[in-house]
Amino acid sequence: MNLTDLNKVAQAMVQPGKGLLAADESGGTIKKRFDAIGVTSTEESRRDYREMLFRAKQPMAQAISGVILYDETIWQDGKDGTPLIKLIEQAGAIPGIKVDEGTQALPNCPGETITLGLDKLADRLAKYYKQGARFAKWRAVIDIGAGIPTYAAIHTNAHALARYAALCQAAQIVPIVEPEVLMDGDHDIDRCYEVTQFVLKETFQELYYAKVALEGMILKPNMAVAGKKSANQAGVAEVAEKTVRLLKACVPAAVPGIAFLSGGQSDVDATAHLDAINKLGGLPWPVTFSYGRALQAAPQQAWAGKLENVVAGQQAFAHRARMNSLASKGQWTPELEQNKAA
């Protein structure tokens, strides 16, 4: 492992004013997204959609430091034969790859899951590196509900994240460590805080046991937010204050950066929260975005699978990318949000 080089890539991923585009939807997830806009999910439609995003010059060059790809995409060519991965590189962004293979029920833990994909991961990482990937992503999923999460689920998922991260670094690939505490339930923000704190502490403990170099990784956490079904929603200031307190208590300063997931927050909420977090200032790490839905919902709506809508789709993507770029510097305002033409 060359830690200096890993650290350089990690720092580039969280460089000022930029963040990550999570375009790594697996087959099932992208089908769900396409169903919502009336588009049939085929190899070609998925290619066309992602090519539209990667060819959006302005947002790709100004706001996106890296793109997380799904296995299918990293081997795909654009319509004119240019490999999609080349389009990302030409825009000055770093290609990355999702290497987890989804989740499966965790035995003895009803309602909880473990993320799959460790078997043969070393071989897959070597192939992805050769293809140009310089970082990877693995998502562990922790749900909050009656009697869950259990320690068994938290520990098993943290252990898998650490094994994945160690394998990535051995393959000279920066691991994005993503322990996602879902916001699907009716819990309040304090319950989310408490569970996320436990999950992060366990994750960093396991990373330490696995001898993962913190300087060569990126953390992709959830923010401290109330569950979607909670009657007791927290405001922007409370989310920012509690998220910062939580992360400061759990994430060592040696970590080069934090890139949040959006987790089902609305586009504007995800931006407003990131902005408020950065406006608080005094953070030991750069804090930016690694959004999937919060960057893509608007371009998906605008595109709707039609060739004549490609420019509109790219403009919608450019707007969200610009808003999040501003938020990553604490420079976003609701007025700028309205000004789509700029």
Residues that bind ligand 5MM (CB under 6 A): 22, 24-26, 29, 68, 102, 139, 180, 261-263, 291-294
End-to-end CA separation in angstroms for the chain: 44
Which CB, 25 or 51, lies closer to ligand 5MM? 25
Report the residue number, 256 or 263, with the smaller CB distance to ligand 5MM.
Answer: 263
Catalytic residues: 220
For residues 24 and 202, which CB has a smaller minimum distance to ligand 5MM in the complex? 24
Pairwise CA distance, residues 33 & 117, whole Å:
24
303 CB-near residues (< 8 Å, 6+ apart): 37, 49, 52, 309, 310, 312, 313, 316
Q: How far is the CB of 290 from ligand 5MM (least distance, A)?
A: 6
Q: Work out the number of other CB atoms within 10 angstroms of the CB of residue 110.
A: 10
CB closest to ligand 5MM, residue no: 292
Minimum CB separation from ligand 5MM for residue 132, in Å? 19
Q: From CA 181, how far away is CA 223, in angstroms rounded?
A: 9
Decide whether 15 or 26 has the Cβ nearer to ligand 5MM.
Answer: 26
Provide the minimum distance between the beta carbon of 80 and ligand 5MM in the complex, in angstroms, as a whole number: 26
Torsion of CA 247, 115, 167, 264, to 10 degrees: -40
Least distance CB 302 / ligand 5MM (angstroms): 18
Asked if omega into 83 is within 30° of 0 (cis), the reply is no
Q: Quick one: tokens of 337?
A: 């949000």
